[in-house]
Every structure is written in structure tokens, then in C-alpha cells.
């Protein structure tokens, strides 16, 4: 009877079992396209003097591992609220959030505020090391990691400088290095470059992209700039005015790595125009 | 403080002593009212040699040190509690207001009745006068820690002690030091009042002893030693402040001068 089996079918069967074996060994091969954040019906109401204010209408959003997603929308539409809920700084009034963070339960998420939020009595190095010190990481290890990160954000030579001796852009880079110091797989950034001039902003955008490609982090990035959103992202989420909800999600298919050529790409300008129109 | 500023201070002091001396000699002031500077100096040397003066100084310094540390510690602790547990602040603030507006010196007789003539009532009085300015400064400081810094503590999963030690306390040190500086002068006054009302040792006791014996030179020696202590204490706190708060805007410039 065995001879009767068509060889083709045997071959196909073998293939299937090999694939199963592979997916047993690496349940999610390469981690690509795997969903990391699942947001379902998350909303937030604040009560101000007894009056209910809806900061965020029920929102659904999925973010894949390693994805760079920008959120853009008019002021007060709930972008910060969404990010703060994700970071655990605010509790949602309802809905569910699932962050699949591998085996590392209770992982600390990376968060970069609009302001650098550095501790003014600590040097740049000590500020970057702060999350490691408070988690009782050994000093030598913490030091070497902090030094690497300061190098990554281009601040070698400023290790001993106090925040007040650094420029706004340098402070923001220290704050990014601090958020990376504990190696979070998820990095939430709330208008991190909003207070900076355009030239510094452009440079930090390029630095951020190179950090992102080196560290393979998932990044959620809130911005008011359509150019920044289009330049950086894999996807751009546009939110509508209050009460905030997600209006449109754009896939950005501009080739990577992005650079000066991206800014000349007609598709880039088309996307910016679309985003701008959508925001009105 | 630079050498130059010390020299300037010494020069003004020398001029004041000279005027004093001339007035005493020219106007023929009786010694039981205002002795000449040389009489004071010899009295000082005499008191220092009998070791009585050092004992008085040691007692007063001990009271000030213990009371100041106790009051400062409690001031910071309660300042923190009132900000972190607003209910507690609301419940206790009327009581605190009453205590704060009452002249704290008026409590001294009560403390002496309760705690005897030893160092206990003086330390308590000093702790009380230290407590209020430090508590007020600490509460203002803790209340002013900005939201993003509290968020940072939450993001990094800091426990309550780490938040206090690593974020809240350093941020609140400038107003706490302002409170400590106010308290430092009041502490010396409180020590003297406590000792004047009943004591067996201390510079305040020396004052009352001089008064009883009609010996103005002893009184003046005690006053001079007390103002030196007050000044030194204040300077000590300033130096600590400069050292610890070198990062703070209030100290920039001072840093350059020192
Ligand atoms: N702690 C709070 N208490 C009360 N209302 C709040 C609070 N935080 C946010 N809100 C309200 O929620 C709404 C959304 O605020 P949020 O900060 O998320 O907006 P945003 O999209 O980040 O705006 P922006 O672009 O200006 O930063 C606003 O209307 C705001 O008034
Ligand atoms: Mg915001």
C-alpha cells in the first residue's frame, strides 16, 4: 500500500510538518508583523467640578512589534491621554489594552515627555543612569550602558554636565537616552521635539530613526507636525477634534532608510497634503 | 566668605570697640553699667580659665544641636505628610495655625513645669521653633514637585521611599534650607529664653547669673558668645546650602563668588 502513495503528496506532507516544527521552535518567526499592542474600546472621561469631560472616545488600534506609528491630531483630542493610559500613568475609563511584551512581565515602558524632565542635580550621565540606579543595577554595568547611550545620542564629552549647562536639544537627547537605558521594547514619545527649532528637530528625527533601526523598538510618536509624522512613520494615525477618536490611519510606503531623498519624493508631499487636509 | 570680607568685618568691629572704649573713658560710665572692653576681655579670660564658660557653651550648643535636628527632621516629615495626605493637613492645619500664631516663647514656662530644669525643655522649645519654618518650607517644596517628575517616578516603578529620597526631597531642599536659615536664629533665641527661665547651666543661665550679681561684664561676655554662636550657626547652614544646592539657580553666582 505504501508504494501506492504518490510521491508528491509525501513531499507536501513533509513540508507541512517541517513548517510546524519550525513554528514550534520559533513560535513567531523573526517577530516581524507580530501584534504588540491591542487597544479595544479604550476611552477616558475626566470629571472637572462634577462635569464629565470626554478626553478620548472609544478607540481601537493595533500596533505591530517594531513598528513606528505616529499619532497626529488637533490640540486637546486626547493624544497625550492615549499615550499616558498606555504607559500606566492614567487609568482608562473602560476598554482593554493588551501589551504583549514577551516574557518580561511588568516591564517598564520607555516614555519621552515634551519637556526633558531631567533631574537638575544630576549630571547627564547620572540622569541616563537613574532608571538603572533605582532598579539596583550594578554601578559598572549601569555606567557602561549609560556611556554607550550618550554616545548613541551624540553626547560623548558631556557626561559630567548638569542639565542647566546643556541646550534644549541636548537635554531632550539625554531624556531619550534615559528612556532607552532600561531597554524597553516599547517607546512612547509625546511631542518630544515640539519645543525645538526646526534644524535641531530635523537632526533629532534622523537620530531617532537610526536609533530605532539599531534597537528594533516599537515606537508610538505623538506630534503636531505632518512632516515629522510622514517622514518617520510606518503608519500615521489621524485623530479628530474633541471628543477625540481615530479618524484615519495612513500606511506610509516611503522606502527606508529615509533621508534627504525622502523629502524630495512626490509621494512624501502627497502624503503630507493628505494628512493636512484630513486634519482640517 | 572671602578673606576681604572678613577683613572688612574685622575693621568695623575694631571701630565699634574703639568708640565704645572712648565713650566709657570720656563719659566716665560706671563699670556696673558698661565696663570698658579690657574689663570684658579679662572677665572672658577668667571665665574661660575656670572651665565654667566652656561648660555653659557646651550645654547651650548641645541643646541647640539636638533641638534643631529634632525640629528639622519633624518639620520635613510633617511637611511631606501634609502634602501627601491632604486630609491630615486639613485636619491639623487649624491646630497648627493656633500654635504658630501663639508666641512659642510663651510655651516655655509650661515646658519647664513638665520637663524640669534640665536640657529637655530647652531642646523641646528649640525643636518647636525650628519645626514651623522648616515644615512650611518643606510643604511648599513638596507641593511644588511638578507632575512630570511624579510621572517619572511612576514610569520607573519607584517605591515611596525612592520617590522621596531621589525626587521629592532634592526638589524641596531650597525652601527647606530657607526654613532652616530662619530657624537657625530663632533656635538660639529659644535656647536663651529656656535657660533664662530656669536652668543650672548654659549661656542663658550665665546671663541671669550676671544680672543677679549685678555684673554687667558677665552679661556682656554671654551676649558676645551667644551672638558668635548664632552667627556661626547661620554660616554653617549657608555653607551646607551652598554645597548641597550647587545645582540650584539660587546658588549660581554665589558659587562663583565663594
Ligand atoms: N488631568 C486632567 N483632568 C481633566 N481633564 C484633562 C486632564 N488631562 C486631560 N484632560 C482633558 O482631556 C482632553 C484631552 O487632553 P490631551 O492632553 O490628551 O490632549 P492632546 O491631544 O495631547 O492635546 P495637545 O496636542 O494640546 O497636547 C483635553 O480636553 C483636556 O482638557
Ligand atoms: Mg498632549
Residue of minimum CA distance from atom 17 in ligand 1: A80
Is pLDDT at B22 greater than 80 in this prediction?
A: yes
Residue bearing the bigger pLDDT, B135 or A4: B135
Average pLDDT, chain A: 85
Mean pLDDT is lowest, of A22-26, A36-40, A190-194, B225-229, for: A22-26
A241 C-alpha to ligand 2 centroid (Å): 13
A93 C-alpha to ligand 1 centroid (Å): 14
Cell 542647566, located at residue: A164
Distant-in-sequence, close-in-space partners of B108: CB < 8 Å, separation ≥ 6: B121, B125, B190, B193, B194, B197
- Residue A159 near residue A150 (C-beta atoms within 8 A): yes
The answer to whether A121 faces chain B, any CB pair under 8 Å, is yes
B188 C-alpha to ligand 2 centroid (Å): 51
Going by CATH, does the domain composed of A18-109+184-279 fall within 3.30.565.10?
no
CA distance B207 to B221: 9
A28 band by pLDDT with thresholds 50, 70 and 90: very low
Ligand 1 atom nearest to CA at A56: 14
What is the predicted pLDDT for the residue at B214?
81
Please list the residues that pair with A71 across neighbouring strands: A222, A237
Q: Running DSSP on this structure, what letter comes out for residue A244?
A: B
What is the predicted pLDDT for the residue at A219?
95
CA distance B5 to A224: 55
Q: Do A135 and B156 touch (CB under 8 A)?
A: yes
- Residues 132-161 of chain B with CB under 8 A from chain A are 148-149, 151-152, 154-158
Average pLDDT, chain B: 87
Is pLDDT at B141 greater than 50 in this prediction?
A: yes
Identify the residue among B146, B150, B155, B251 best suited for mutation to test binding to A, counting A beta carbons within 10 A and taking the highest: B155
What value of ipTM does the predicted structure carry? 0.81
CA distance B76 to A198: 44
Span B37-251: which CATH code? 1.10.3720.10
Measured between beta carbons, the chain B residues lying within 8 angstroms of A182 are: 156
What is the predicted pLDDT for the residue at A33?
62
CB of residue A77 inside a 6 A radius of ligand 1: yes
Could you state, in order of their start, the residue ranges of all structural domains in chain A? 18-109+184-279, 119-183
CB of residue A46 inside a 6 A radius of ligand 1: yes
What is the predicted pLDDT for the residue at B188?
92
What is the predicted pLDDT for the residue at A53?
87
Cα B110 to Cα B106, B115, B201, distances in angstroms: 8, 8, 19
Q: What is the pLDDT of residues A80-118, one digit of tens each?
A: 999 999 999 999 998 888 887 765 556 789 999 989 999
B10 C-alpha to ligand 2 centroid (Å): 59
Closest partner residue to B154 among A89, A117, A135, by Cβ?
Answer: A89
Q: Running DSSP on this structure, what letter comes out for residue A3?
A: G
How many A/B residue pairs have CB atoms within 8 Å? 44
Q: Do A111 and B151 touch (CB under 8 A)?
A: yes
What is the predicted pLDDT for the residue at A227?
93
The answer to whether B167 faces chain A, any CB pair under 8 Å, is yes
CA distance B108 to B200: 16
The closest alpha carbon to A227, from A193, A267, A263, belongs to A263
Q: What is the pLDDT of residues B36-65, one digit of tens each?
A: 888 888 888 888 888 788 889 999 999 999
Please list the residues that pair with A43 across neighbouring strands: A94
Distant-in-sequence, close-in-space partners of B176: CB < 8 Å, separation ≥ 6: B75, B76, B79, B134, B137, B138, B141
Is pLDDT at A143 greater than 90 in this prediction?
A: yes
Question: Which residue in chain B is spatially nearest to A163 when comparing CA positions?
Answer: B247
Is pLDDT at A194 greater than 90 in this prediction?
A: no
Residue bearing the bigger pLDDT, B236 or A152: B236
Residue of minimum CA distance from atom 14 in ligand 1: A78
Residue B121 backbone phi and psi in degrees, to 5: -65, -30
CA distance B226 to B204: 9
Question: Which residue in chain A is spatially nearest to B159 when comparing CA positions?
Answer: A134
Grid cell digits, residue A93: 475609563
Identify the residue among A80, A107, A113 best suited for mutation to test binding to B, counting B beta carbons within 10 A and taking the highest: A113
- The mean pLDDT value for A20-34 works out to 48
Is pLDDT at B254 greater than 80 in this prediction?
A: no
CA distance B145 to B154: 14
Ligand 1 atom nearest to CA at A78: 18
Q: Do B247 and A162 touch (CB under 8 A)?
A: yes
Is pLDDT at A4 greater than 80 in this prediction?
A: no
Measured between beta carbons, the chain B residues lying within 8 angstroms of A130 are: 156, 166
What is the predicted pLDDT for the residue at B48?
81
- Residue B138 near residue B75 (C-beta atoms within 8 A): yes
Amino acid at each position: 500500500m505504501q508504494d501506492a502513495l504518490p510521491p508528491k503528496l509525501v513531499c507536501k506532507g513533509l513540508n507541512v510538518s517541517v513548517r510546524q516544527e519550525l513554528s514550534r521552535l520559533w513560535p513567531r518567526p523573526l517577530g516581524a508583523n507580530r501584534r504588540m499592542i491591542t487597544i479595544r474600546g479604550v476611552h477616558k472621561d475626566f470629571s472637572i467640578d462634577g462635569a464629565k469631560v470626554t478626553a478620548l472616545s472609544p478607540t481601537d488600534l493595533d500596533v505591530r512589534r517594531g513598528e513606528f506609528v505616529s499619532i497626529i491630531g488637533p490640540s486637546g483630542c486626547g493624544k497625550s491621554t492615549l499615550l499616558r493610559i498606555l504607559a500606566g500613568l492614567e487609568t482608562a475609563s473602560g476598554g482593554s489594552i493588551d501589551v504583549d511584551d514577551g516574557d518580561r512581565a511588568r516591564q517598564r515602558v520607555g516614555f519621552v515627555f515634551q519637556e526633558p524632565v531631567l533631574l537638575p542635580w544630576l549630571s547627564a550621565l547620572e540622569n541616563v543612569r537613574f532608571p538603572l540606579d533605582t532598579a539596583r543595577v550594578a554601578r559598572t554595568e549601569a555606567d557602561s550602558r549609560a556611556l554607550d547611550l550618550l554616545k548613541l545620542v551624540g553626547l560623548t564629552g558631556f557626561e559630567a554636565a548638569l542639565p542647566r549647562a546643556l541646550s534644549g536639544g541636548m537635554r531632550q537627547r539625554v531624556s531619550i537616552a534615559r528612556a532607552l537605558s532600561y531597554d524597553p521594547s516599547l517607546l512612547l514619545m509625546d511631542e518630544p521635539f515640539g519645543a525645538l527649532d526646526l534644524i535641531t528637530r530635523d537632526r533629532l528625527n534622523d537620530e531617532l530613526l537610526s536609533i530605532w533601526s539599531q534597537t528594533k523598538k516599537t515606537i508610538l510618536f505623538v506630534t503636531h507636525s505632518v512632516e515629522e509624522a510622514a517622514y518617520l512613520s510606518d503608519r500615521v494615525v489621524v485623530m479628530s477634534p474633541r471628543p477625540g477618536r481615530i479618524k484615519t490611519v495612513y500606511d506610509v510606503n516611503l522606502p527606508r532608510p529615509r533621508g534627504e531623498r525622502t523629502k524630495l519624493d512626490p509621494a512624501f508631499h502627497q502624503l503630507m497634503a493628505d494628512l493636512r487636509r484630513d486634519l482640517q | 566668605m572671602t578673606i576681604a570680607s572678613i577683613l572688612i568685618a574685622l575693621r568695623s568691629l575694631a571701630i565699634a570697640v574703639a568708640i565704645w572704649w572712648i565713650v566709657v573713658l570720656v563719659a566716665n560710665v560706671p563699670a556696673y553699667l558698661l565696663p570698658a572692653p579690657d574689663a570684658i576681655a579679662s572677665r572672658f579670660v577668667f571665665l574661660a580659665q575656670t572651665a565654667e564658660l566652656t561648660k555653659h557653651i557646651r550645654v547651650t550648643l548641645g541643646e541647640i544641636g539636638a533641638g534643631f535636628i529634632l525640629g528639622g527632621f519633624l518639620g520635613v516629615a510633617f511637611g511631606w505628610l501634609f502634602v501627601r495626605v491632604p486630609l491630615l493637613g486639613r485636619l491639623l492645619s487649624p491646630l497648627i495655625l493656633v500654635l504658630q500664631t501663639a508666641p512659642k516663647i510663651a510655651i516655655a514656662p509650661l515646658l519647664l513645669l513638665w520637663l524640669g530644669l534640665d536640657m529637655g525643655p530647652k531642646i523641646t522649645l528649640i525643636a518647636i521653633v525650628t519645626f514651623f519654618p522648616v515644615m512650611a518650607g518643606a510643604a511648599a517644596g513638596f507641593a511644588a514637585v511638578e507632575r512630570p517628575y511624579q510621572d517619572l517616578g511612576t514610569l520607573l516603578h519607584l517605591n515611596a521611599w525612592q520617590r522621596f529620597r531621589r525626587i521629592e526631597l532634592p526638589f524641596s531642599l531650597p525652601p527647606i534650607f530657607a526654613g532652616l536659615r530662619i530657624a537657625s536664629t530663632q533656635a538660639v533665641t529659644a535656647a536663651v529664653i529656656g535657660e533664662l527661665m530656669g536652668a543650672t547651666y548654659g549661656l542663658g543661665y550665665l546671663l541671669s547669673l550676671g544680672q543677679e550679681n549685678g555684673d554687667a561684664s558677665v552679661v556682656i561676655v554671654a551676649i558676645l558668645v551667644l551672638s558668635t554662636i548664632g552667627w556661626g550657626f547661620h554660616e554653617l547652614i549657608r555653607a551646607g546650602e551652598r554645597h548641597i544646592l550647587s545645582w540650584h539657580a539660587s546658588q549660581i553666582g554665589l558659587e562663583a563668588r565663594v
